């Protein structure tokens, strides 16, 4: 049961932004810009960073939903998502993405864990300033989302089918959900 009174049957962050849409709006806008906005990192790569950080933060709702979105975006290559969840060091991602996932993993611990060496290795593999910036901000943002979702004990479904549906919707973009009592769709 969530720590506050949220709408029944609505999972994770969706229940929370329905509870407080004024803060939900910038949160979804941030997700949309970061994960779906123009970037030299593909949407799939950015969702992988989100999935990896959420896994490290042990937030099952975020990890499973963003993994599902990543699988949709990777299409035939979707096995890569489970590889990253299982062991990021063994995953068959590009060398550049590996260095960015390493940076994201350091940010997950704390900002100061990112070393000049981590960044140098990313640059050696072709990472740009913008890609490094976005990696740090995506990782930081998911350190927020994971704490928000679990800090209020919002409902974490266990049925993979629920996440698969969520993933399909998320792959298209992040749109602030309306409370059910307001829409009759």
Residues engaged in binding other proteins (CB under 8 A): 3-5, 16, 19-20, 22-23, 25-27, 29-30, 33-34, 37, 57-59, 103, 106-107, 110-112, 114, 116, 119, 129-130, 132-134, 136-137, 139-141, 143-153
CB of 24 closer than 8 Å to CB of 163: no
Residue 126 or 151: the one with the smaller Cβ distance to other proteins is 151
Backbone angles phi, psi at 110, to 5 degrees: -170, 155
Residue 78 or 179: the one with the smaller Cβ distance to other proteins is 179
Residue 52 or 71: the one with the smaller Cβ distance to other proteins is 52
Residue 38 or 182: the one with the smaller Cβ distance to other proteins is 38
DSSP track, 110-129 = -GGG--HHHHHHHHHTT--H
Backbone angles phi, psi at 58, to 5 degrees: 60, 35
DSSP state of 41: S
Task: In angstroms, give the least distance from the CB of 79 to other proteins.
Answer: 29
CB of 88 closer than 8 Å to CB of 81: no
Task: In angstroms, give the least distance from the CB of 131 to other proteins.
Answer: 9
Task: In angstroms, give the least distance from the CB of 91 to other proteins.
Answer: 22
Backbone angles phi, psi at 152, to 5 degrees: -105, 10
């Amino acid at each position: 049961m969530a720590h506050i009174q949220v709408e029944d049957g609505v999972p994770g962050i969706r229940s929370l932004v329905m509870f407080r849409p004024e803060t939900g709006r910038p949160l979804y806008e941030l997700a949309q810009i970061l994960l779906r906005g123009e970037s030299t990192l593909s949407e799939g790569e950015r969702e992988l960073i989100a999935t990896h950080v959420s896994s490290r933060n042990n937030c099952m709702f975020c990890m499973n939903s963003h993994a599902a979105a990543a699988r949709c975006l990777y299409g035939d290559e979707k096995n890569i998502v489970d590889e990253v969840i299982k062991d990021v060091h063994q995953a068959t991602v590009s060398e550049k993405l590996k260095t960015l996932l390493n940076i994201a993993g350091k940010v997950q611990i704390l900002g100061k864990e990112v070393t000049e060496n981590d960044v140098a290795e990313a640059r050696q593999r072709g990472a740009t300033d913008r890609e490094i910036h976005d990696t740090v901000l995506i990782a930081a943002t998911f350190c927020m989302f994971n704490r928000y979702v679990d800090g209020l004990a919002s409902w974490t479904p266990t049925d993979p089918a629920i996440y698969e549906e969520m993933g399909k919707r998320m792959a298209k973009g992040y749109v602030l959900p309306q409370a059910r009592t307001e829409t009759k769709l």
